[in-house]
Structure 1
């Protein structure tokens, strides 16, 4: 049974499930947020209005994702490529997400590359790269 604490984040479930599934036995925690260290640093190397470049801590990450799921609903996450290095302490994920911008109904597709550092069976640092133009186009396109 899903944890009711995370019910509001259901629109991002395909992404959360993809990440949690690939990390398997490298991290502890049932849900995506449970795999994060309390003091995780989640760094994004792109500019999207309303999304911070650096998010400090699990609580901050949950707050940021609350804004995300209020605006985007994902249908799927796929095309996963995983690179495990350093005995699983560093994991590089390449993947795509597919969804809808809720305010306009515009389709949203994007590609990501995320570099994760794992310490004490939790994600301590997350560095994210994405196709900024795909995000910009989806967020600024008017409904058809």
Structure 2
């Protein structure tokens, strides 16, 4: 049984992210929701991230767990500026996109840009390498203290 955004309230904060990723991978992967797009043994690597976030996560269920409390920290309102670069010979897709929302703890705006390098195998995401702007996370979280 798959977990869907609509069936699991904790994932609602990620809805714009899930939507833009699904749009970017349209026609290359199968699945009803974001987690269904992932292979059971998917590997995620967070190359440019923030302190305390894992650098590598293996397995779909571990990704579900990682994203399950996202709404405790950030709420996303939208995602846009999608650019998709596909290499059909290697089944690699590069997604460039932005997300916009609010920090739950500070109420500050959160605007971040991502580059996700996605490898597809057997119509599922087999590998995901992610790059983000950590300063955008720090600004939304109000870190370091006193930073305006």
Fold shared, TM-score > 0.5 on shorter chain: yes
Task: Check whether the contact 1:26–1:88 (CA below 8 A) recurs between aligned residues.
Answer: no
Number of residues of Structure 1 aligned to a counterpart in Structure 2: 143
Q: Please report how far the alpha carbon of residue 67 of structure 1 lies from its aligned counterpart in structure 2 after TM superposition.
A: 2.5
Gaps of 5+ in 1: none
The separation in 1 between residues aligned to 2:42 and 2:89, in whole angstroms, is 20
Tell me which of 96, 99, 102 is aligned to 1:100. Answer: 102
Tell me which of 12, 17, 20 is aligned to 2:19. Answer: 17
For residues 88-111 of structure 1, the C-alpha deviation after alignment (integer angstroms, 9 at most, x for no partner) is 711000000000011111100000
The separation in 2 between residues aligned to 1:7 and 1:88, in whole angstroms, is 36
Scaled by the length of structure 1, the TM-score of the pair is 0.90
Where 1:48 maps in the other structure, the secondary structure is coil
Task: Check whether the contact 2:5–2:15 (CA below 8 A) recurs between aligned residues.
Answer: no
Gaps of 5+ in 2: none
Which residue number in structure 2 is paired with residue 120 of structure 1? Answer: 122
Q: Please report how far the alpha carbon of residue 86 of structure 1 lies from its aligned counterpart in structure 2 after TM superposition.
A: 2.7
Scaled by the length of structure 2, the TM-score of the pair is 0.88
For residues 45-86 of structure 1, the C-alpha deviation after alignment (integer angstroms, 9 at most, x for no partner) is 124133211111111111111132221100000011100113
Task: Check whether the contact 2:75–2:101 (CA below 8 A) recurs between aligned residues.
Answer: yes
Which residue number in structure 2 is paired with residue 137 of structure 1? Answer: 139
Which residue number in structure 2 is paired with residue 50 of structure 1? Answer: 52
Which residue number in structure 2 is paired with residue 63 of structure 1? Answer: 65
Tell me how large the CA RMSD over aligned residues is.
Answer: 2.0
Q: Please report how far the alpha carbon of residue 40 of structure 1 lies from its aligned counterpart in structure 2 after TM superposition.
A: 0.5
The separation in 2 between residues aligned to 1:4 and 1:22, in whole angstroms, is 20
Where 2:52 maps in the other structure, the secondary structure is coil
The separation in 1 between residues aligned to 2:69 and 2:55, in whole angstroms, is 14
The separation in 2 between residues aligned to 1:100 and 1:5, in whole angstroms, is 23
